[in-house]
Chain A
């Protein structure tokens, strides 16, 4: 055979071999592969409220004292079996017996005390601390499985708060954030390699029911189309957080509320926005329905609060604003007659990359508003600049403007949203209404049905009398689940329960 023929033959053979060895056999193992969007920065059980960390660790490797019931938002037992209030400032938690950490240590009251101390270590940037940062907490070990926690100020919702506090091993290094977490969960951390792949293996000493999945591998693929394609080719079993336009297969793709609510905050420190008629006009001129199923996916819902219906404090009597451009025009005309400069140029500020299609959404809204007489221009900013506008301390001169925001409350109670957003001096608040402040203060101190009622009153006041914003939508996320497994995602972007995955 001539040299050329041999060369051609060899090349053909090599090409075929290369292509053919690419995996074709079905994966019969009990291992699942999950394609994530971003690589977690670290894997420490003191930051499970961060979605990047939580999605790998929460309830898989690291558990919490309590978990929230997804429908009612009320705390349920997990690592704590029961709790009661000893006095105003002190709660007593009874801990579950027979629980061991992955490194063999016992889970007991002393461990909890060490864990809480680490959470408050000022040299560690533990993200879970931020919700309880202003609380002074002291612990007292009553016995091996009972611990008293005293707080100053009074924390009515301490059991709810503890659904955010991860119980990592007391042996965890106290000088830096961990990259190899140890917890009590059904899976133990095995490896995190230099390519960013994380491996979790089933923990045989787990206190609860043994899950079906033996091993979980997390791989990172920032591009949504590639993530989605991986499930299609069988390279992955779950593609987390895919873009709406990639979720084209109804058999594999599922959407769920991700606890995020979008709104446009109105900064009404000066005319024209400080006139309530103008703010009402903004709400009336916005055709919320027209954007559902078009720019936004079909599953989103019009929002009446800045949190979802399952949060304590939700007022079911409040209805979304109707779309009434004529009334909006009337309101604007009336305001204009009183000298309010309704067509003053205003900025609608968005944050680049915040959520999918945000920029088109804001363009559409601006167009709708300009159609009734406003003069609004969209301005997209990068994250750092946007944060400076959104958080206190504000710049000394705060011009009237509109800021697109998204708020996340997966913690079961309105107190995680309302004071922050609506109280005078609240860190993301532009509102200063003494009546509202009183309601919010009273509600925060109350318990039970009284608390719910007070928050509902506050919601009503916000929606009808204060109108500090234009509520938009309860947002959804999409996930692709491969045909090999049976899995229904939780309504959350910060948790992916491996234990609930079953093989078909």
Chain B
């Protein structure tokens, strides 16, 4: 397995390099940021000076060379906007989003696995119907809607929790809940689907026919076999949370990487975009490796050629 890990890491490194190169060149296709950082009435001389200082007048390959030299020293350049090292900004913002995503995913998975399995246990029964409807609504609700309605109802009208901010535990309740709702709804459906297949498979029928009395044992075995698509989708949702957290971060005032990246992209702050993409890519690649390892752990028959 260690060999597999080594090989995978190497391949992921290649992907990482490819990604960074791609982002570097493609981002520069979106225009020159000079106009965005100087006031609207800045003179042409000011603009020329700005472009000169930041190297926008150099040929692209030269800019890339400077970038590579810097990247090898872990210096991704300074943010045009904040005038600070880009990597530092990204490493400050990333943990916040990571925490949000982690708690949200945890809650979503627990709720979804329990609900989905119970729904599949008695297919088309009352619980199944209710759970399906609620989960489908959850999976299709725009998250800013729940966020703002949540703030208005829970914080303003009922004064149960604070509106926003990051300091106290109460302030995390709503953001995590909002972030968890869509994945939870989605995964309930996936669990339900694959549990249905697992529960109706031959070995379960055999176990029941042989008189295995514990429903729990059957349940757990079926669950284990149903997990494959579940962790894939959960992994995809988790990576999507980096971008999806933007809305939650904006509304609740969390200084996370979603916000940072969005601002950097709309303001053509290339250094921050590059640093942010690299950091999130590393996290995503690691997650994908972990998921692949989980496949092997869950199902010993699986082998990767």
Contact = CB atoms under 8 A, between A and B. Distances in A.
Contacts of A176: 83
A220 B250 CA distance: 9
Given A22-B160, A195-B255, A233-B156, A219 B165 contact: yes
B251 A226 contact: yes
A358 B136 CA distance: 35
Contact of A133 (B33, B46, B167): B46
A229 interface: yes
A179 B82 CA distance: 9
Interface stretch (B36-44, B194-202, B207-215, B287-295): B36-44
Contact of A384 (B36, B40, B250, B251): B36
Interface residues of B, number: 46
B80 to A, nearest CB: 9
Interface of A: 18-19, 21-24, 39, 41-42, 49-50, 122-123, 125, 127, 129-131, 133-134, 176-177, 179, 194-196, 219-223, 225-226, 229-230, 232-233, 235, 382-385, 387-388, 390-393, 420, 427-428
B41 A235 contact: no
B30 interface: yes
Interface stretch (B147-155, B218-226, B278-286): B147-155
Interface string B21-56: 000000000110101111111111110011001000
B39 to A, nearest CB: 5
A427 B41 contact: yes
B159 to A, nearest CB: 7
B179 to A, nearest CB: 15
Given A130-B43, A226-B163, A196 B255 contact: yes
Contacts of B45: 133-134
B146 to A, nearest CB: 13
B162 interface: yes
Contacts of B160: 19, 22
The 6 nearest A-B residue pairs measured at CB: A387-B35, A177-B83, A223-B251, A130-B42, A229-B156, A221-B253
Contacts of B35: 384, 387-388, 391
Find the residue from A122, A131, A225 having the highest chain B CB count within 10 A: A225
B268 interface: yes
Given A42-B82, A196-B255, A229-B152, A384 B31 contact: yes
Contacts of A122: 49, 53
Nearest to B42: A130
B161 interface: yes
B169 interface: yes
Contacts of A130: 38-39, 41-43, 46
Given A229-B156, A387-B35, A22 B151 contact: no
Contacts of A221: 164, 251, 253
A131 B36 contact: no
Nearest to B80: A125
Contact of B155 (A18, A123, A229): A229
A384 to B, nearest CB: 5
Contact of B36 (A42, A219, A383): A383
B125 to A, nearest CB: 25
18 contacts: A19-B160, A22-B161, A24-B159, A125-B50, A134-B45, A194-B92, A195-B165, A195-B255, A219-B165, A226-B163, A226-B253, A229-B155, A233-B162, A382-B266, A385-B31, A387-B40, A388-B35, A427-B43
Nearest to B152: A229
B268 A233 contact: no
A428 B42 CA distance: 11
Given A22-B161, A235-B163, A41 B83 contact: yes
B76 interface: no
A235 B156 CA distance: 11
B166 to A, nearest CB: 5
A480 to B, nearest CB: 13
A225 B46 CA distance: 38
A229 B151 contact: yes
Interface of B: 30-31, 33, 35-46, 49-50, 53, 81-84, 92, 148, 151-152, 155-156, 159-167, 169-170, 250-253, 255, 266, 268
Given A41-B82, A233-B162, A133 B39 contact: no
A131 B39 CA distance: 10
A195 B268 CA distance: 23
Contacts of B170: 18-19, 21-22
A226 B39 contact: no
A235 B165 CA distance: 10
Contacts of B251: 221-223, 226
B72 to A, nearest CB: 23
Contact of A41 (B41, B81, B266): B81
A394 to B, nearest CB: 12
Contact of A225 (B50, B151, B268): B151
A222 B162 contact: no
B258 to A, nearest CB: 12
B151 A226 contact: yes
A219 B49 contact: no
Contacts of B39: 49-50, 127, 130
Nearest to A47: B39
A469 to B, nearest CB: 16
B83 A131 contact: no
Contacts of B81: 41
Contacts of B38: 125, 127, 130
A387 B92 CA distance: 31
B290 to A, nearest CB: 28
Contacts of A41: 81-83
A233 B155 contact: yes
A19 B156 contact: no
A110 to B, nearest CB: 27
Contacts of A382: 266
A392 B48 CA distance: 13
Nearest to A129: B46
Nearest to B54: A125
A233 B163 contact: yes
Given A19-B170, A49-B39, A129-B46, 5 more contacts: A18-B169, A41-B82, A226-B251, A388-B35, A427-B44
